[in-house]
Amino acid sequence: MNRRILLILGIVVIVLGVVASSALFTVHQTQQAIVLQFGDPKRVVGDPGLKVKLPFIQNVLYYERRVLNLDPPVQRVILADQKPLLVDTYARYRIVDALRFYQTVRSEGTAGTRLATIINATTRGVLGNVNLASVLSQDRVDIMKNIRDQVNAEARRFGIDVVDVRIRRSDLPDETSQAVYDRMKSEREREAAEFRAQGYEQAQRIRAGADREATVIRAEAEREADIQRGQGEAERTRLLNDAFGRDPDFFNFYRSMQAYQESLRAGTYLVLSPDGEFAGFFDAIGAGGVASSP
């Protein structure tokens, strides 16, 4: 009898455990839950803790309360100045209305696909109205804010709040990068040629000024030298004339000695008449070796 009672009690405990496990569920603080009855949502549970549902006929679907990440694929965008650009974006979003989220997209995977399509379309639309200089300048912040606002307006119908949309990278395609590089290279070469031409022109102007100044300085120096030389020749002539006037014999002797020094050098042969005027000081050499005056 006791064994039968214990068996019945054991069966009852097992049944109650099964029923309790089916009727009780736990919501984590990072989650939110929807209680479904045959696929029809009955209530949304947003508070964490231990909750109760109808056993066996109701089930629970959990969604994240935390911010979720989304990385749409890289897309090619044509800017307003007709330049192609490879844009890599990422987004951060949060499920704020679990019931609407379940009714529209059901799962996070489907939501990511739909949201990526919206982000890419919005990015193409916004970047199609700006040029490359704006994307690479401080205007980029306003561009991303505009994209986020438009994406958020579209995503609210899914029960999603888009926290942020950012442009991670914006690169030019290979062919465009080469074209931009060639254009920059030709522009720099043009500027370098212009600078060289300006430098050559300035160098020519400085060189011409220096040559003109040097010519003027040389002309003035030569004029001053001619003046000094003329004055020296005049002074020399005056001194010679004065010396000749004081002692004509000595002056003749001195001039003859200078003529002998210039004429009678080593290896010089002269054929002179003994009674000529040039050899007058060689006649009548005295005992002291000094020629007498003619």
Half-sphere exposure (Cβ direction) of 274: Cα atoms closer than 13 Å: 2
- pLDDT digit string (tens) for 109-133? 999 999 999 999 999 999 999 988 8
pLDDT of residue 278: 65
Give the pLDDT band (50/70/90) at residue 68: very high
User: Is the per-residue pLDDT at 293 higher than 70?
Assistant: no
First to last CA, the chain: 190
pLDDT band at 240 (very low <50, low <70, confident <90, very high): confident
**19-28, 189-198, 267-276: lowest mean pLDDT where?**
267-276
pLDDT of residue 177: 66
Residue 32 lies in a domain: yes
Task: Examine the pLDDT at 283 and tell me if it is beyond 70.
Answer: no
Residue 123's domain is classified under what CATH number? Answer: 3.30.479.30
Specify the pLDDT at position 207.
92
| Integer Cα distance of 125 and 59 in angstroms | 42
Contact 35/41 with Cβ under 8 angstroms? yes
Q: Does residue 221 lie within any of the structural domains?
A: no
Q: Is residue 104 part of a domain?
A: yes
pLDDT at 277: 65
77 and 150 belong to one structural domain: yes
State the amino acid at position 228 in one-letter form: Q
Domain span including residue 278: 247-294
Quote the CA–CA distance of 74 and 90 in Å, as a whole number: 10
Tokens standing for residue 4: 């039968």
Q: Round to whole Å and give the CA distance between 30 and 52.
A: 19
- Phi and psi of 128, rounded to 5°? -70, -10
- Which of 172, 200, 221 marks a domain boundary? 172
Residue 34 falls inside a structural domain: yes
Do 34 and 80 belong to one domain? no
Judgement on whether residues 26 and 119 belong to the same structural domain of the protein: no
pLDDT confidence of 156, banded at 50, 70, 90?
Answer: very high
Pick the last residue of a domain from 172, 199, 225: 172
Give the pLDDT band (50/70/90) at residue 158: very high
Stronger pLDDT, 147 or 82, i.e. the higher one: 147
Question: Rounded mean pLDDT of 259-272?
Answer: 70
Q: What is the pLDDT of residue 291?
A: 45
Task: With respect to residue 14, please indicate whether it lies within any of the assigned structural domains.
Answer: no
Mean pLDDT of 208-217: 92
**pLDDT: which is higher, 67 or 174:** 67
Are the C-beta atoms of residues 258 and 243 closer than 8 Å to each other?
Answer: no
Q: How many domains does the chain have?
A: 3
Say which residue, 32 or 240, is predicted with more confidence.
32
Task: Report the amino acid identity of residue 283.
Answer: D
Q: What is the mean pLDDT of the chain?
A: 85
Q: What is the pLDDT of residue 288?
A: 43
Q: What is the pLDDT of residue 289?
A: 44
